[in-house]
Amino acid sequence: MKHIISVLVQNKFGVLSRVANLFSASVGETQDHSISRMTIVVEGDDPILEQINKQLNKLVDVIKVVDFEGGEFVDRELVLVKINVTSHTRPEIMQVVDIFRARIVNVRERHFTVEVTGTEGKINAFLDLMRPFGIKELARTGKVAMARA
Where on the chain is the footprint of a second copy (CB under 8 A)?
6, 11, 14, 16-18, 20-21, 24-31, 36-37, 39, 74, 76-80, 82, 105-106, 108, 113, 115, 117, 135, 137-146, 148-149
User: What is the smallest separation between the CB atom of 143 and a second copy, expressed in angstroms?
Assistant: 8
We find the least distance from the C-beta atom of residue 146 to a second copy, in angstroms, to be 5
CB of 13 to a second copy, least distance (A): 8
- Taking the least distance from each CB to a second copy, the nearer of 73 and 96 is 73
Q: Are 39 and 15 in contact (CB under 8 A)?
A: no
Q: How far is the CB of 124 from a second copy (least distance, A)?
A: 11
Could you tell me the smallest distance in angstroms from the CB atom of residue 145 to a second copy? 7
Distance CA 65, CA 83 (A): 38
- Report the C-alpha gap between 88 and 65 in whole angstroms: 50
Q: What is the 3-state secondary structure (H, E, C) of 58-98?
A: HCCCEEEEEECCCCCEEEEEEEEEEEECCCCCHHHHHHHHH
Enclosing H/E stretch for 18: helix 15-20
Closest CB to a second copy among residues 1, 105 = 105
Nearer to a second copy, 62 or 145 (CB): 145
- For the chain, the C-alpha Rg in angstroms (whole number) is 18
- Which amino acid would we find at residue 9? V
Q: Which is nearer to a second copy, 49 or 80 (CB)?
A: 80
